[in-house]
Structure 1
Amino acid sequence: MFVHRRDVQIQWGDCDPANIVYYPRYFAMFDDSTSIMFEAAGFSKQDIVRNYGLVGIPMVDTRAKFYIPSTHGDWITIETRVESIKRSSFEVTHKVFKGGALAIEAFETRVLVGRDPNDPARLKSTPFPQEIIDRFMKG
């Protein structure tokens, strides 16, 4: 299974007045991590949109469990992986490690969407291309 890891340093603007990362900032990091994972697997967002006629890959569900806080200057490692792929949706997990300890577990469901061929003003889920499935599921 394909896994992408990246190190991120917590910046001043990520933190609230208590100097703890404000939780929505993590969700922005997770969104970036999903895009970066696709690119690391050889599928940039621009290529996917162009090659498969997609409009985007919106998030339709997300949640997180927070165990250890981070503050300005800390380094964290975000480990991102596709856990499962269905017809047009997929599940992504993000594990955040701080100093080797699990700090956060986050989960998202995303859907591939394109234009509805019967009404181009509407969006419609799009089946997952087999080559992308193969890359993420086989590693």
Structure 2
Amino acid sequence: MAKTSVFEVQVQFGDCDPAGIVFFPNFLRWMDAASLHFFMGCGLPPWRELEKTRGLVGTPLLEIHTRFVQSATYGERLQVHTGIDEWRGRVFVHRHRVLRGDTLICEGTETRTFVMRDAEGRLKSVALPDDLRALCD
């Protein structure tokens, strides 16, 4: 991963199950937020602005893989380190590493694509324009 961003999360009591362990879907929610944080940090405008100026609606999720290594609980501060592992035409792979300090808690990859609306309003997959991709490399 050439360029990375760090998205901080303060784990709340409501993020945890009755045993006090972070409920696994919250990691996916934080990775999703870290994905947007990555693009904003690279200099891409918010999705609403990109839709108005370039027709790009966002980056829907196509596939996700997650591996849990350690548990986390409320009161802890986690860092989601995010970058792009691979560009494949219209598809890219985001890698996320969730850390508590130097301890790996969870890691995952998301396969995503950029989309635009066609003439009928349906979403269609497109490659990220070169000038915007250059901001992310």
Q: TM-score, normalised by structure 2?
A: 0.91
Q: Tell me what 2:74 maps to.
A: 72
SS of corresponding position for 2:97: strand
Superposed structure 1 runs of 4+ greater than 3 Å apart = none
| Cα shift at 1:132 | 2.0
Does the CA-based 8 Å contact 2:68-2:106 persist in structure 1?
yes
Give the root-mean-square deviation of aligned CA atoms. 1.3
* Number of positions where the alignment pairs a residue of Structure 1 with one of Structure 2: 135
Partners of 1:3 and 1:102 in 2: CA distance: 16
The letter of the residue matching 1:2 is K
Match of residue 123 from structure 2: 123
Give, in whole Å, the separation in 2 of the partners of 1:121 and 1:48.
Answer: 16
Q: CA deviation at 1:64?
A: 0.5
Q: Which residue of 1 aligns with 2:35?
A: 34
SS of 2:122's equivalent? strand
1:95 aligns with 2:100: no
Q: Secondary structure at the match of 1:31?
A: helix
- In structure 2, stretches of 5+ residues that fail to align are none
How many angstroms apart in 2 are the aligned matches of 1:73 and 1:17?
15
2:110 paired with 1:108: yes
Looking at structure 2, the residues matched to 99 and 17 of structure 1 have their Cα atoms a distance apart, in angstroms, of 25
Aligned-partner Cα distance in 2 for 1:3–1:48: 21
Aligned sequence identity (%): 30
Q: TM-score, normalised by structure 1?
A: 0.90
Residue 20 of structure 1 corresponds to which residue in structure 2? 21
Structure 1 gaps of 5+ residues are none
Maintained 8 Å contact 1:78/1:96: yes
Q: Could you tell which deviates more after superposition, 74-83 or 126-135?
A: 126-135
